[in-house]
Amino acid sequence: MKKIALIGMPNSGKSTFFNSISGASAKVANWSGVTVDIESVKTLIFGEIAELIDLPGIYTLKSGSDDELVVHDFLKNNEIDEIFFILNSSQIDRQIDLVLQLRNLGYKVRLLCNMSDEAKKNGIEINYKELEKRLAIPIHPISAKFQSGYEFLNQRLQAFEKKISVKPLVQNEIYQYVNFPKHSNDKTTAILDKFFLHHLWGLPTFIILLFVLFQIIYGIAEPLQEVMGLVFDSAGEYINLYLNQNLPKLFSSFLYDGVYLGVTTVLTFIPVIIIFFIVMSFIENSGYLSRAGFVMDKVMEKMGLDGRSFVMILFGFGCNVPALMSTKIMRSKTTQFLTMLIIPFSLCSARLQVFLFFTAIFFSPQMGALVLFFMYILSFLIIIITALIFKDKKAIHESVLIEMPPYRLPTIKQTLLTAVHEINHFLKRASKFILGGVIVVWLLTNFHVSPNVTIADHISSFLSPIFDPIGINNKLIIALIFGFIAKEILIGALAVIFSSNMDTLGEILQSEINWQQALSFMTFTLIYTPCLSTIATIKSQSKNIRLVATSLLWSLALAWIVSFIFYQLLINFS
């Protein structure tokens, strides 16, 4: 089977191309010589099944960033039949050098000039045939956004020559084959940038957009979540009846209270995750995220970070793990480590499940949206505080270079493909922990160390003096312990602990705790110890035990302090 490596610079549309090829079938694999996850998909290319391998976006093979070392290491340690190089046609003069680096190293390179439609619209004329002859490599103008120009993938093409030595392009020679207009035709981007990149209202605009995002998620997802809950509850009644009639009581309780209630409670949050990623993928594909990073660069510099750190914090809203993996693009270890320390405070989609559940129970829809917005603002504040405390004052700030892609209106198909891709990642990661986690919770709450005292009771009683001052009772303590494994199982753990379904769990919680305790629990969940996957990623990316220990201890201590302040203020002044 042929192996084809997909390489390109950031913001060139490489991920869009890969997602359009892979759909929801992409696999994550560890390859020889590579220490990070690399995605691949088996698909029909050139009339036969081939494996397309998606490598990190890079700017050059010559510097020493982690991303570039990963690509170099991969190519060195794996037999690759061909390289598909994704290039932004509007930036062909700046990106062609990397193509030639790969070609002159002896790799078989096929150049896919992406966004050819945008280049043409902006008055950029490229003589593809003559450029193909000059570089001695096949060139295909494509648009990954609209999946046009893909016809070559279905053709049986002639084999490459084994090796061709190509003379480097001399200075300005590229302009013999590419004609750029004197003035940009993209007036829309220029007009929007005057607003979104403005030094006064650029940042407030971002905050407003973030608030609108929460309103959309909350307004659409909650009714869908309720419908799924009703479906699972109805099915659960018949399942529980059947199990009670045909199985021993303990085993029936294990299957229903442990497995069914725990897993289905978590599954009711799938609509939230889907809507979150659809909206986020739309914003990402529109070109706005790069602007947000640029606007925040000066602010982040005061915290020892840069604009790229801010973009990775935004990625952390989906999942902390891929956001942490993205820090390898940073050349400065000081900035990278500080960014890795603060990313776990990003309100990830797993925590979002918990907050949506609690806000729906304890607050009205309007107040719930405000509480949710407050949790995101608190997330940012904790990030700022942590960065200011741990920043290296002696470190030299590295100027950020962020490509500014033109604004684009993403297609529905493009948005859905990106969202499905991210949802797949989330569900695969969550499935590793949910079933095992809820089973362990059931075991702890059903097996006794003494009459009428379960293992869970014993653990929570030991920890209760620590959690009493912040309003978190014994049963919530057990849920928090399992939240360390994965925040995805936190709601499932509560369902198992209280032996309830989605509807009755809300009623039971309302009888157990008040809204002040609920808010304290949410605050603690936001800040406290990152999940096991996040900790493992920090360890693998940093190879620094001290950073791992700092992340664990600091988040735990800070969660208690902030929750204590909020809870004491709420119960004394409300």
What is residue 32's predicted lDDT score, i.e. its pLDDT?
Answer: 41
Question: How far is 313 from 335, CA to CA, in rounded Å?
Answer: 13
Domain closes at, from 185, 218, 235: 185
* pTM of the predicted protein model: 0.60
Q: Partners of 8 in the beta sheet? A: 86
The Cα 425–Cα 26 span in angstroms is 10
Q: Tell me, yes or no, whether 262 and 294 share the same domain.
A: yes
Q: And the tokens for 400? A: 């950020």
pLDDT score for 119: 87
Side-chain-side CA neighbours of 116 within 13 Å: the count stands at 20
**Are 276 and 415 found together in one domain?**
yes
Strands 178-179 and 109-114: unpaired
The DSSP symbol for 174 reads G
pLDDT of residue 28: 47
pLDDT at 525 over 90: yes
Across 44-48, 276-280, 393-397, 473-477, least confident range: 393-397
Residues 523, 529, 532: CA angle, nearest 5 degrees: 130
Calpha distance 461→567 (Å, rounded): 20
Section 531-554 average pLDDT: 85
The percentage of the chain sitting over the pLDDT mark of 90, rounded to a whole number, equals 20
Assess contact for 456 and 496: CB atoms under 8 A: no
pLDDT band, residue 110 (cuts 50/70/90): very high
Q: Pairing state of beta strands 38-45 and 48-54?
A: antiparallel
Query: CA 18 to CA 160: how far, in whole Å?
Result: 23
Average pLDDT, the chain: 80
Distance CA 478, CA 99 (A): 55
Please state the three-class secondary structure of 222-280 as a single string.
HHHHHHHHHHHHHHHHHHHHHHHHHCCHHHHHHHHHHHHHHHHHHHCCHHHHHHHHHHH
Alpha-carbon dihedral angle through residues 410, 416, 419, 420, given to the nearest 10 degrees: -150
Q: For 141-163, what is the mean pLDDT?
A: 76
Query: Are 385 and 419 members of one domain?
Result: yes
**Inter-axis angle of helices 532-542 and 412-446, to 10 degrees?**
110
pLDDT at 30 (0 to 100): 43
Q: Could you tell me if 269 and 222 are in contact, meaning their C-beta atoms sit under 8 angstroms apart?
A: no
- Same domain membership, residue 518 and residue 414: yes
Are 333 and 270 contained in the same domain? yes
Q: What is the mean pLDDT of residues 112-132?
A: 89
The answer to whether residue 438 is domain-embedded is yes
Indicate the residue among 185, 217, 246 that finishes a domain. 185
What is residue 398's predicted lDDT score, i.e. its pLDDT? 54
CATH of the domain at 20: 3.40.50.300
Residue 33 has pLDDT above 50, yes or no: no
- Give the model's pLDDT for residue 411: 75
> Average pLDDT of 45-60?
85
In a domain? residue 193: no
Do 226 and 343 share a domain, yes or no?
yes
Kindly state the average pLDDT of the residues 514-527. Answer: 94
Q: What is the pLDDT of residues 243-275, one digit of tens each?
A: 888 888 888 888 887 788 767 766 776 776 677
Residues 6+ apart with CB under 8 A from 75: 5, 107
Is 85 in the same domain as 115?
A: yes
Judged against a pLDDT cut of 60, whether residue 532 lies above it is answered with yes
Which of residues 185, 213, 229 is at a domain's end?
Answer: 185
Q: What are the tens digits of pLDDT across the range 362-409?
A: 988 888 888 988 998 999 999 999 999 998 766 555 555 556 667 777
Q: Are residues 397 and 524 in the same domain?
A: yes
pLDDT for the residue 537:
77
Q: What pLDDT does 206 receive?
A: 74
Average of per-residue pLDDT across 277-289:
74
DSSP letter string over 462-484? Answer: HHHHHHGGGT--HHHHHHHHHHT
Band (479; pLDDT cuts 50, 70, 90)? confident
Degrees, nearest 5: CA angle 567-266-244: 110
Q: Give the domain extent around 396.
A: 202-573
401 in a structural domain: yes
**What distances in angstroms separate CA 405 from CA 13, 27, 89, 90, 274, one per listed residue?**
10, 28, 12, 9, 26
Residue 112 — very low, low, confident or very high, per pLDDT cuts 50/70/90? very high
The answer as to whether 110 is a domain residue is: yes
Beta strand 125-126 with 453-454: parallel, antiparallel or unpaired?
Answer: unpaired
Higher pLDDT, 260 or 32: 260
pLDDT digits (tens, 9 = 90+) for 65-98: 666 777 888 888 888 999 999 998 988 888 888 8
Ranges 305-309, 374-378, 424-428, 532-536, most confident: 374-378
User: Has residue 228 got a pLDDT over 90?
Assistant: no
If one counts the domains in the chain, the total is: 2
- Judge if 129 and 249 occupy the same domain: no
The secondary element (H helix, E strand) that includes residue 555 is helix 545-573
- 2 forms bridges with which residues in the sheet? 50
The answer on 110 and 11 residing in a single domain is: yes
User: And the tokens for 317?
Assistant: 């809203």
- Spatial CB neighbours of 452, under 8 Å, sequence gap ≥ 6: none
Confidence grade of residue 513 (pLDDT, cut at 50, 70, 90): very high
Tell me what pLDDT residue 35 has. Answer: 40
Tell me if 524 is assigned to some domain. yes
Helix 333-342 vs helix 307-316: crossing angle, to nearest 10: 30
3-state secondary structure of 40: strand
Same domain, 207 and 62: no
The tokens for 205 are 């605009």
Residues 477, 539 within the same domain: yes
Three-state secondary structure call for residue 525: helix
The pLDDT score that the predictor gives to residue 390 is 92
Whole-angstrom distance, CA of residue 352 vs CA of residue 311: 19
Mean pLDDT, to the nearest integer, of 227-241? 84
Q: Is the separation of the CB atoms in 280 and 348 below 8 Å?
A: no
